[in-house]
Amino acid sequence: MPAVEVSNLSKSFGGVQALRGVSLSLGESEVLGLIGPNGSGKSTLLNVIAGVQKPTSGTVKLGGRAISGMRPDAIVKLGVAKTYQIPKPFASMSVRENVAVAALYGRRLRSVGPALEEADRTLAIVGMGDRSDLAAGSLTAQEKKRLELAKAIATGAKVLLLDEVFAGLSSEELRDSIALFRKMHEELRFSALVVEHVMRAVLNVSEGVVVLEEGRVIAAGSPDQIVHDERVVQAYLGSKGVGT
Amino acid sequence: MKGRTPFTLYGLLAVMAALAAVASFSGVATTVLLVNLLVFAALAYSINFITGMTGYVSFGHVVFMAIGSYSLAVLVSTYSTSPFEGIALGALLGGLFALGIGAVTLRFRGVYFAIASLVLALAGYNLVLQFPQFGPGGELIFYIPFQPLTVFFAIWGIVVAEIVLTFFVNRGKVGLGIRAIKDEEDAAAAAGVNPMKLKLYVYMLSGLFAGAAGAVFAWSTFGVNASSAFDLTFSLQMLAMILIGGMGTSTGPLLGASIVYLLYYELLTYPRLQGGQFLVVGAAVIVIALFVPDGIVGIIRRKYPSLKPVIE
Amino acid sequence: MVASYFLSDPSVLLSDLVFGLLLGCVLAVVAHGLNMIWGVVKVVNIAHGEFIMLGAYGAYFLNLYWGIGPLASAVFDAAIGFLVGYAFYYVFLHRELRGKETVSLQSEMVTLVATFGLSLVISTLALIIFSGNVVGIDYDPGTLLLGPVSVPLGGLYVAVVSILIISGTYLFLERTFIGAAIRAYSQDVTATELIGANPAKVASLATALGFAITMAGGALLTVFISVGINPLMGTLYAPISFVIVVMGGPGKMWGSLAGGLTLGIVFDVLQAVATPQIAFATGFLLLIPVLILRPEGILK
Ligand SMILES: Nc1ncnc2c1ncn2[C@@H]1O[C@H](COP(=O)(O)OP(=O)(O)OP(=O)(O)O)[C@@H](O)[C@H]1O
Ligand SMILES: [Mg+2]
């Protein structure tokens, strides 16, 4: 059974139709890339799956159970966590406390102590152990993105919805991040839906790719098939060029 | 955050013990002064639960105080019960009303919550005037023996309970979740926090203690009347106290209450300065809000980080 | 009681309704300045009522010493309000807003609390300077009889001026370059820079305009409250303004009128069929369902 099954999902904001009947399925431990031009509905899709926004119609199932329409905190506790494209750290709290919030509530721990320990473990995994006592508001943009990732992992989620966590990295940083991601995936065996503009990242971390355009899935397949798909090249790569 | 010796709590409880000793062994005037001071402190801790901890500005907080005042006044004047039953009813109704009101208004963010709470206070005032049970012009007066020390220990117990709760809420699971809500409510929900549940919880505490404090206030003034029970400057005073002391902390409200109280009623009550206390408090609120929004505790925290365990 | 009211002479009912509409127009303009600031700068001035009060006293003193009528005083008040608005922006808002794209909740709280403090300072000063006595302006141009319905002329003039002010701001925002810059600021602070305007200048101008309208509104209000000018009147008109702006939707110029008329009629009719207390309580509580059902205001 797939971990997440999205069927015929639509979402409109007033007049704007951000999603128009999107269906896809994400297998256990599968990493699926989600690409598409700006404004094609990628973030909206993640938000609706995570319950941050309510779908206009359609369903999301997690392990066979319908979760669409549930509150975001309930969905997190069922094991689905998302990162924000524009990071939203708890600015006045330390990095460690930020991650502890996710561990404490996402994993339904009873007290703060174990949550802090969990936070330390997670921060070590994402390579931010040396940042744990800084105020989250004082981090650099890249560190804030990584903190988003740490929070999502700390919730104990089995399904991660990652919104452009690789954006804005230099070539070496990107290489390190990809390596880190692969290592984490090997260790934690989560499923992930990875929104990305950076093609190199998509091709390197994901087993399959789904392409969105104007709220519709226009192609799906292996990374190799996708880069050679005529429609994709026209709709997406043609307009933006194959990014690094 | 965990397993540390709770110096702050010990310190605050020592101060409270000292106040109890002073009240027990000095004259009536001092006891009355301390009663008034602790009523202020109780109100400050009460608004601290919601506004200090979550950042939701409860402009209409007087509503809960008024609920407590009327609970006690009606019970004592109409049903001749003991004031303690009035306090219990005030606390109960304060908490229940906070749950009911909060279930609706805590869905509104920022200014919308603030204004909704303000509007409820005004509506409450007008409604009280509508019911004869609350006396003509919303005024109820009762005659019971003057027992300053009993009143003192009633409000003393309330403040001690608030201090202990504030301290443990802050350092426990709820406190961490609440701070996340204060910083980024949506992100908190995306991390698994149920914001509504936590906000309702602290709002309920807030209403409960404001109700209890309002009941004691009515007891200490032998009555209640609508225009002072719903006087919005009370809300401002409560805000001023936690703002000056330090929002959300367990030391701030007592510190702020002492300062505002002394300014208001002891230092600035010379006839020549009629109204002067309002000017000073209003101006202090402006300056502190704009320039040092984390209050005295915040200043100490930044200037003397080593004192952190003692003041937080 | 209710039934008997509606069974009474229909001309009484109509006169009441007309009065409610006129009252609604003046409440609209009283709230309009707040709407401007809230809609554009995204900050709520809790001391709004105190500036209405100052506008009312401005009209009172101009009338007392120079015999100037409330309508003419509104112009003086507006000029003063404009300057006060600039000062207000730079003292209270500039530090919190400059260089930011959105107003954070923290800034929102800071400005709410600081302006709450300001309202206490101003009303206390007013109590000291003007004393607690209630005063009024003797201005009554008579009554217009339209068949059985009587329309107070003073109220009619004020209503007309109110509507002129509201439509004037609407046209200003829609048709002028500065207006476009203000609209741009209200939607996206960085967009202001894109059209070549300085965000702080735009925000301060909008605040100044808001204050000018607020104080002028205070002067116009005096026509309706022939004896009701007092240092604490702000505590009534500020919440009324909050309700009106939320009902109309912050930043929607016609929203002030929609909210004002709704509240004017609710107050007026409920005062007639029930009691003033019920009228006020209902008017204030109206805010809650509006916030739940139409958080963007009753206008589309
Ligand atoms: N809260 C919202 N209100 C109104 N419209 C929205 C909202 N969120 C997204 N949209 C619109 O929905 C569409 C899809 O937006 P979305 O953010 O999902 O795109 P995206 O694929 O993530 O784009 P990007 O690559 O720029 O991140 C866009 O047209 C956007 O303007
Ligand atoms: Mg996006």
What is the domain range of residue A96? 89-157
Q: Hey, is the C-beta of B92 within 8 angstroms of any chain C C-beta?
A: no
Buried b (16+ CB within 10 A) or exposed e, B87-113: bbbbbbbbbebbbebbeebbbbebbbb
Higher pLDDT: A229 or B71? It is: B71
Q: What is the pTM of this model?
A: 0.91
Smallest Cα–Cα separation from B47: which of B246, B215, B203?
Answer: B203
Instruction: Give the distance (Å) from ligand 1 centre to CA of residue A152.
Output: 22
Residue A233 lies in a domain: yes
Tell me the pairing of strands A31-35 and A191-195. Answer: parallel
Task: Tell me the one-letter amino acid at B184.
Answer: E
Average pLDDT of chain C to the nearest whole number? 88
B196: Cα separation from own chain's centroid: 21
Cβ atoms of A111 and B228 closer than 8 Å: no
Residues 83-142 of A with CB under 8 A from B: 84, 88-93, 97-98, 100-102, 104-113, 115-116
pLDDT for residue B270 is more than 60: no
What is the domain range of residue B54? 14-231
Q: What is the pLDDT of residues C102-128, one digit of tens each?
A: 777 778 888 888 998 999 899 999 988
Find the mean pLDDT for residues A130-155. Answer: 90
Average pLDDT of chain A to the nearest whole number? 87
pLDDT for residue A1 is more than 70: no
Find the mean pLDDT for residues C68-86. Answer: 94
Q: What is the pLDDT of residues A30-46, one digit of tens each?
A: 999 998 888 899 999 99
Q: Hey, is the C-beta of B2 within 8 angstroms of any chain A C-beta?
A: yes
Q: Which atom of ligand 1 is the closest one to the Cα of A195?
A: 22
Residue C299 lies in a domain: no
Confidence of residue C298 (pLDDT cuts 50, 70, 90): confident
Q: What is the pLDDT of residues C134-179, one digit of tens each?
A: 888 888 888 888 877 888 888 899 999 999 999 999 999 999 988 8
Cβ atoms of A116 and B1 closer than 8 Å: yes
Residues 6+ apart with CB under 8 A from C16: C268, C269, C272
Our count of domains for chain C comes to 1
What is the domain range of residue C7? 2-293
Our count of domains for chain B comes to 1
Residue C300 lies in a domain: no
Backbone dihedral angles phi then psi of residue B52, each to the nearest 5 degrees = -65, -45
Cβ atoms of B310 and B7 closer than 8 Å: yes
pLDDT for residue B98 is more than 80: yes
Q: Which uninterrupted H or E stretch holds B140?
A: strand B140-141
Measured on CA atoms in the order C130, C134, C138, C140, is the torsion positive or negative? positive
The C-alpha atoms of residue C130 and residue C136 are separated, in whole angstroms, by 13
Query: In which region does residue A52 sit, left (phi positive, over 0), alpha (psi from -120 to 50) or beta (all else)?
Result: alpha
Look at ligand 1, atom 17, and give the residue with the nearest C-alpha.
Answer: A43
Determine the 3-state secondary structure of C130 from DSSP: helix
Residue B303 lies in a domain: no
Smallest CA–CA distance, residue B209 to chain A, in Å, is 25
Confidence of residue B273 (pLDDT cuts 50, 70, 90): low
Smallest CA–CA distance, residue B22 to chain C, in Å, is 34
C-alpha separations of C203 from A55, B255, C43, C174 in Å:
37, 37, 11, 17
Residue B4 lies in a domain: no
pLDDT for residue A176 is more than 90: no
Q: Which uninterrupted H or E stretch holds A17?
A: strand A16-26
Q: Are A21 and A54 within one domain?
A: yes
The pLDDT value given to residue C139? 81
In the numeric block, which tokens belong to residue B61?
A: 């907080």
The number of residues making up chain B comes to 312
Query: In which region does residue C82 sit, left (phi positive, over 0), alpha (psi from -120 to 50) or beta (all else)?
Result: alpha
The pLDDT value given to residue A50? 94
Give the domain-ending residue among A107, A128, A157. A157
The pLDDT value given to residue B232? 83
- DSSP assigned state of A221: E
The pLDDT value given to residue C52? 96
For residue A101, list chain B residues with Cβ-Cβ distance below 8 A.
Answer: 176-177, 180, 188, 191-193
Return the residue matching tokens 């005030």: B90
Q: Are A169 and A236 within one domain?
A: yes
The pLDDT value given to residue A166? 83
**Among B173, B198, B200, the residue to mutate for chain A (most A Cβ within 10 A):** B173
In the numeric block, which tokens belong to residue A127?
A: 């390579």
The C-alpha atoms of residue A73 and residue B188 are separated, in whole angstroms, by 8
Residues 6+ apart with CB under 8 A from C287: B115, B116, B119, C242, C243, C246, C247
Structure ipTM = 0.89
Measured on CA atoms in the order A142, A147, A150, A155, is the torsion positive or negative? negative
Judged by average pLDDT, the poorest of A120-129, C9-18, C113-122 is: C9-18
Q: Hey, is the C-beta of A52 within 8 angstroms of any chain B C-beta?
A: yes
Q: Which chains touch B (3 or more CB pairs under 8 A)?
A: A, C
Give the domain-ending residue among A109, A125, A157. A157
pLDDT for residue A212 is more than 50: yes
pLDDT for residue B310 is more than 70: no
The number of residues making up chain C comes to 300
Q: What is the pLDDT of residues B120-154, one digit of tens each?
A: 999 999 888 888 888 888 888 888 888 889 999 99
Residue A107 lies in a domain: yes
pLDDT for residue C189 is more than 80: yes
Look at ligand 1, atom 12, and give the residue with the nearest C-alpha.
Answer: A18
Residues 6+ apart with CB under 8 A from B271: none
Q: Hey, is the C-beta of B159 within 8 angstroms of any chain C C-beta?
A: no
Judged by average pLDDT, the poorest of A159-168, B63-72, C12-21 is: C12-21
Q: Kindly report the CATH number assigned to the domain that includes residue A167.
A: 3.40.50.300
Q: Which uninterrupted H or E stretch holds A163?
A: strand A159-163
Determine the 3-state secondary structure of C42 from DSSP: coil
Q: Kindly report the CATH number assigned to the domain that includes residue C280.
A: 1.10.3470
Judged by average pLDDT, the poorest of A80-94, B135-149, B181-195, C243-257 is: B135-149
Cα dihedral: C182, C185, C190, C193 (round 10): 10
Residue B252 lies in a domain: no
Q: Which chains touch C (3 or more CB pairs under 8 A)?
A: B
Q: Which residue of C has its CA nearest to B102?
A: C288
Task: Tell me the one-letter amino acid at C211.
Answer: F
For residue A159, list chain B residues with Cβ-Cβ distance below 8 A.
Answer: none
pLDDT for residue B49 is more than 60: yes
The pLDDT value given to residue B1? 45
Q: Are A226 and A208 within one domain?
A: yes
The pLDDT value given to residue B260? 86
Q: Are A217 and A169 within one domain?
A: yes
pLDDT for residue C26 is more than 60: yes
Residue A84 lies in a domain: no
Q: What is the pLDDT of residues C236-252, one digit of tens each?
A: 899 999 999 999 988 88
Q: Are A162 and A198 within one domain?
A: yes
The pLDDT value given to residue B91? 96
Residue B134 lies in a domain: yes
Cβ atoms of C282 and B126 closer than 8 Å: no
Share of chain A above pLDDT 90, in %: 49
Instruction: Give the distance (Å) from ligand 1 centre to CA of residue B94.
Output: 43
The pLDDT value given to residue C132? 80
Instruction: Give the distance (Å) from ligand 2 centre to CA of residue A85.
Output: 6
Q: Flag if B183 and A92 touch (Cβ within 8 Å).
A: yes
The pLDDT value given to residue C10? 67
The pLDDT value given to residue B2? 44
pLDDT for residue C9 is more than 70: no
Give the domain-ending residue among A157, A178, A211. A157
Of B59, B109, B130, which is closest to C116 when you measure between CB atoms? B59
Cβ atoms of A29 and A52 closer than 8 Å: no
Q: Are A238 and A166 within one domain?
A: yes
C-alpha separations of C117 from A14, A216, B29, B275, C222 in Å:
39, 53, 31, 14, 25
For C186, half-sphere exposure in the C-beta direction (CA atoms, 13 angstrom radius) is 22
Q: Hey, is the C-beta of B145 within 8 angstroms of any chain A C-beta?
A: no
Determine the 3-state secondary structure of B96 from DSSP: helix
Residue A222 lies in a domain: yes
Residue A29 lies in a domain: yes
The pLDDT value given to residue B175? 93
Confidence of residue A242 (pLDDT cuts 50, 70, 90): very low
Of C44, C125, C284, which is closest to B119 when you measure between CB atoms? C284
Our count of domains for chain A comes to 2
Residues 6+ apart with CB under 8 A from A13: none
